[in-house]
Amino acid sequence: MSGSDAPDGSDVVVDDRAIPDATVARLPLYLRALYELHDQGDETVSSDGLAQAAGVNSAQVRKDLSYLGSHGVRGVGYAVGDLLDHIAAVLGLNRDWRVLLVGVGNLGRALASYGGFRERGFKIAALVDADPGKVGRSVGDHQVEPLEDLDTVVAREDVSIAVLAVPADAAQTVADRLVTAGVTAILNFAPAHLEVPAHITVRKVDLSTELQILAYHERRRHQGRTTTVVDDG
Amino acid sequence: MSGSDAPDGSDVVVDDRAIPDATVARLPLYLRALYELHDQGDETVSSDGLAQAAGVNSAQVRKDLSYLGSHGVRGVGYAVGDLLDHIAAVLGLNRDWRVLLVGVGNLGRALASYGGFRERGFKIAALVDADPGKVGRSVGDHQVEPLEDLDTVVAREDVSIAVLAVPADAAQTVADRLVTAGVTAILNFAPAHLEVPAHITVRKVDLSTELQILAYHERRRHQGRTTTVVDDG
DNA sequence: ATGTGTGAACGTATTCACAGCC
DNA sequence: GGCTGTGAATACGTTCACACAT
């Protein structure tokens, strides 16, 4: 078991539970920074060093790491290797994750061959597409299977995470099928809102949305007197 | 198009200034939902209808829209067409944006041919890559140009937005060059933190990070007694 | 001396709840 | 009656600042 700590002798098992979402979203950044520090031979790092590498505030780093029940050393910093292992464990990265990819259009194929996934322990287990013209094609080291076989594929490959790269108008339908097939986490690249049961985790990556946000800032920057009158007369 | 509005004949100049970031990030969602409603012939929508379509709370919708100084009609709702124009104007989407894409690897090529960009007014103006083997290739309707010509290309195409799809270890260097070339907004797909001057807007899309966040939730869901002890002694 | 861990202060975002208008 | 617009209440996230450990 873990820690002997517990000021008053209560049972503290790996402080699971209750890591704020905002912190969870930053853990991968810390992890990345720690791998870099590790590769360049650093054995310890201060909250400030880690903060700089990750592009955040040092108080943020300390607070975030405190949620992990992590033990830095006062006056010294954090042990890079230990912290790295710890964060990886919290994120569930001490195992491989097999991922189902649905939709092998341009984006889907790019994702299938994206090295960053495998590198971080995410392996594409199978590829599925609704288009009969695409079924049977080889992408990476897999053949595309028909969408109809979704349940079979999910069961066979025992995946719980799916990446959804289908057109917006198909997204909800496919998501429903994924859920009934037993998938519990979806990374959605389709520009559409997904309605899913409460116990399913969805993250969305919306490429156009991001550009639109940039456009907003550009518009404001350069608007000078490019009068942004909506139209009106 | 839309509105005679301005209840009292004042110049409605788009209430610029002071739209919270969180709201700006949701405007594209509303816009998308409004296009759908528009396409299916709806002329008005209530905050609740829009909320459902966008997957948020109706109070959120009203508060967000109130920042735009928008005029809904009590007891009725919002005029779909007008609201759509208004949000598009606020986001600066009443013009086309020419975008420079740096890095034509798998992801870069997928982005270059991603229809969702053009559809929303973002046109790839030029493609650039550091690899001489890729320079000269045709991707979409452009030829890849050498990274050395970055300044020339940025000036020639008059772009202010760049999409960065290069390997992590090249990201900072390329970002620096983009900034000196005059780019003021960067959409970063490289898994690396970018340090840029304060007046530059950066948004990042980190694919692996998203999967890692999903993994965290999966780990917690299924951990049962897969004891998540980090190691300890 | 140095740098963590954390309460307290602050700031931002979301949700409630209702007055006001159609 | 129905639905917006918004102050007030709440929840969440970030930063400060300092006691405490090494």
Measured CA to CA, the distance from residue B230 to residue A86 in angstroms comes to 6
Q: What is the pLDDT along chain B (233 residues), one digit of tens a residue?
A: 333 333 333 333 455 668 999 999 999 999 999 999 999 999 999 999 999 999 999 999 999 999 999 789 999 999 999 999 999 999 999 999 999 999 999 999 999 999 999 999 999 999 999 999 999 999 989 999 999 999 999 999 999 999 999 999 999 999 999 999 999 999 999 999 999 999 999 999 999 999 999 999 999 998 743 444 443 32
Q: How many C-beta neighbours within 10 Å does residue B51 have?
A: 20
Q: What is the pTM of this model?
A: 0.90
Residue of B nearest to A113 (CA): B106
- B149 CA to chain A: closest CA distance, Å? 24
Nucleotide nearest to A77 (CA to C1'): C3
Q: How many C-beta neighbours within 10 Å does residue A211 have?
A: 26
- Amino acid B14: pLDDT: 54
CA terminus-to-terminus distance, chain A:
72
Nearest alpha-carbon partner for B203 in A208, A163, A229:
A208
- A117: chain B residues, CB-CB within 8 Å: 207-208, 211
Give chain A's mean pLDDT: 90
- Amino acid B15: pLDDT: 52
Residue of A nearest to B23 (CA): A213
Helices (H), chain A: 21-39, 47-54, 58-67, 80-90, 106-112, 115-119, 150-157, 168-181, 207-222
Q: How many C-beta neighbours within 10 Å does residue A229 have?
A: 13
CB B45 within 8 A of CB B77: yes
Cα B95 off chain centre by = 15
Answer whether B97 sits within 8 Å of A218, measured CB to CB.
yes
How many alpha carbons fall within 13 Å on the CB side of residue A87? 26
Nucleotide D13: closest residue by CA–C1': A22
Low-confidence ranges of chain A (pLDDT < 50): 1-14, 224-233
- Amino acid A38: pLDDT: 97
User: Which residues of B in 36-65 have their CB below 7 Å from strand C's atoms?
Assistant: 56-57, 59-60, 62-63
Indicate yes or no: strand C within 7 A of the C-beta of B5.
no
Answer whether B11 sits within 8 Å of A119, measured CB to CB.
no
Answer whether B207 sits within 8 Å of A210, measured CB to CB.
no
The DSSP call for residue A148 is G
Joined tokens for residue B60? 């959120």
How many alpha carbons fall within 13 Å on the CB side of residue B60? 17
Show which positions of strand D are touched by protein (CB under 7 A): 1-7, 12-17, 20-22
Nucleotide nearest to A44 (CA to C1'): C3
Nucleotide nearest to B7 (CA to C1'): C21
Nucleotide C16: closest residue by CA–C1': B59
Q: Alpha carbon of B106 to those of A142, B111, B161: distances in Å? A: 17, 9, 20
Measured CA to CA, the distance from residue A129 to residue A194 in angstroms comes to 19
- Amino acid B98: pLDDT: 97
- Amino acid A101: pLDDT: 98
Answer whether A113 sits within 8 Å of B106, measured CB to CB.
yes
Answer whether A32 sits within 8 Å of B191, measured CB to CB.
yes
Answer whether A214 sits within 8 Å of B85, measured CB to CB.
no
Nucleotide D14: closest residue by CA–C1': A60
A172-220: per-residue pLDDT in tens?
999 999 999 999 999 999 999 999 999 999 999 999 999 999 999 999 9
- B12 CA to chain A: closest CA distance, Å? 6
**Reduced to 3 states, what is the DSSP secondary structure of residue B233?**
coil
Nucleotide D6: closest residue by CA–C1': B63
| Residue type at position B100 | L
Residue of B nearest to A167 (CA): B116
- When CB atoms are compared, the residue of A53, A215, A233 closest to B93 is A215
Nucleotide nearest to B58 (CA to C1'): C15
Nearest alpha-carbon partner for B116 in A155, A207, A182:
A207
- B198 CA to chain A: closest CA distance, Å? 13
- Amino acid B183: pLDDT: 98
Residue of B nearest to A104 (CA): B110
Indicate yes or no: strand C within 7 A of the C-beta of A37.
no
Q: Alpha carbon of B16 to those of B4, B69, B199, B203: distances in Å? A: 19, 9, 18, 21
CA angle A192, A196, A198 (to 5 degrees): 135
- When CB atoms are compared, the residue of A194, A217, A231 closest to B1 is A231
Nucleotide nearest to B57 (CA to C1'): C15
